[in-house]
Structure 1
């Protein structure tokens, strides 16, 4: 069997969906109401395709020691196309929120508290696993100065914005999480730009919010250099939020021709381009995303309850699958043994750990992500106390 055959991907996806169905039958979780159910259904597949992308990378890494794109457009685009669509989802949802809020003041503290509650808890879990696995791989012995190690740990805890350094002498630390944290600085930079995007969309952010976010943008760009081509992905999502209001577009997107066109547009970049990060590929994917946001369900696939259930655990799956791959190949099987695997044996291992990836992602969502998101308002109130105190101090200064 070819290591880049599509059959293992289909088999693993079937295992993942079967695992989701098993978990759903055990529990009584209800899917939340959503205006954009097609996007909810899309996200889970994107995260799972990223897992398959890194599973393919691991096969070749074990053979030649090089962590690079697999020699297959299918498996390369499983990662790159998924990331492009993830960024479009982010751009769409927040542009839609800003458009919906025109004419009403936005509580920016609530917005950023919700982002912290959404991204930080599961990220801290991933970082705890990263640190534990680094120390496990290095025999729980200190191999660099404590101050240097703590500084590197801080870099990782800051969503790897400063850097993604090797820790405690373990070369290729980023492999433990499959390098997925590289996308998070882009997410945060976009969030910090929201007040300025709000101005373009007819909102009036407070000068304080704009000043604070300008400072955050300056700090991020001082520590990290983005690939600005990827900004087009957020732009594509934002423009989609404007376009989906068209009832004509909604009707076409939900039609059979609309679904066929959407499917063709999703597949086209993988046929035409080696990378999804080229401008033309981004444009094509942007059109596909526009149709999905407008209601194209890929013939009902994206609106199925199972797809939406998989979509709920997207972020945890994105963060945690790398750790499970690392544990499987480096710690349990052993690199030398895994290196000797045939393509079939490698993909049988991936199929075997697929239920673990789904289960770990579900548990992380259920017990870490979801409770934290439900407490975002309490976090907003907590963060607002120092600002409220400063306002009161300004109104009633203490006599010197």
Structure 2
């Protein structure tokens, strides 16, 4: 019964489980995004109805959100909904922005550098939204940051990224609990930082190979 609220995607009030008041640490305390993810998934049947007029629909959504927030100081909910809409926008306009790969790589480099300069500090604003759109369009049109993104190690990280996303909170939680028990949690030993990271990559590789791939094959 205590675990049932954790399956509630409408709010983020997660009750402690088995009397452990910091149960949310198991997910790194990051649960608020689930509300927006579920909202997007449930909206897919509605979005499907507009598939034949997808460009008009997406541009209309962008106009509606921007027009109703003329100051670009979005309400908290619209900030994250707008990011989903911008992702759809990238798909709709990518074929209209065909440039040479060199220009795409230069634009990608400038956009990424600009994001670092702005130092967003987890805040979403109109300038960062524009930069995210530029970065996404460049990559889906073939930009590879002068070959860096084609590195075999980065490509493998991309494949197991979902497993990393799922597994890293649990592994970090267990690792930090063990380090806390032995009073080494705040030690300056750099190897203690790389050890959990290595374990995350190894376990994520295994879950990708033995869980993700078999389920993707079932879909085929």
TM bin (shorter chain): 0.7 to 0.9
For 1:175 and 1:228, the matched residues in 2 are separated by: 27
Q: CA deviation at 1:201?
A: 3.4
Q: Is the 8 A contact 1:160 1:181 kept in 2?
A: no
Higher relative contact order (CA 8 A, sep 6+): 1
Tell me what 2:145 maps to. Answer: 298
For 1:245 and 1:288, the matched residues in 2 are separated by: 15
* Bigger mean CA offset, 283-292 vs 173-182: 173-182
Q: Is the 8 A contact 1:265 1:284 kept in 2?
A: yes
Q: Tell me the alpha carbon deviations over residues 120-162 of structure 1, each in whole angstroms, 9 at most, x when there is no partner.
A: xxxxxxxxxxxxxxxxxxxxxxxxxxxxxx2x32232x37544
Tell me what 2:32 maps to. Answer: 182
For 1:352 and 1:320, the matched residues in 2 are separated by: 15
Q: When you count helix as a share of all residues, which structure comes out higher?
A: 1
RMSD across aligned positions (CA): 2.5
1:251 equivalent in alignment to 2:99:
yes
Q: CA deviation at 1:376?
A: 3.6
Tell me what 2:202 maps to. Answer: 359
Matches within 5 A, 1:80-99: none
Q: After TM superposition, what 4+ stretches of structure 1 lie above 6 angstroms from structure 2?
A: none
For 2:113 and 2:98, the matched residues in 1 are separated by: 21
1:348 equivalent in alignment to 2:198:
no
1:338 equivalent in alignment to 2:188:
no
Q: CA deviation at 1:242?
A: 1.2
- Give 3-state SS (helix, strand or coil) of 2:15's partner: coil
Q: CA deviation at 1:364?
A: 1.1
Tell me what 1:372 maps to. Answer: 215
- Give 3-state SS (helix, strand or coil) of 1:266's partner: helix
**How many residues matched?**
197
Question: Using a 3 Å threshold, how does the CA distance of structure 1 residues 231 and 350 change in structure 2: closer, same or farther?
Answer: same
Question: Using a 3 Å threshold, how does the CA distance of structure 1 residues 340 and 308 change in structure 2: closer, same or farther?
Answer: closer
User: Larger Cα Rg: Structure 1 or Structure 2?
Assistant: 1
| TM-score (ref. length: structure 1) | 0.45
| TM-score (ref. length: structure 2) | 0.77
Q: Is the 8 A contact 2:108 2:135 kept in 1?
A: yes
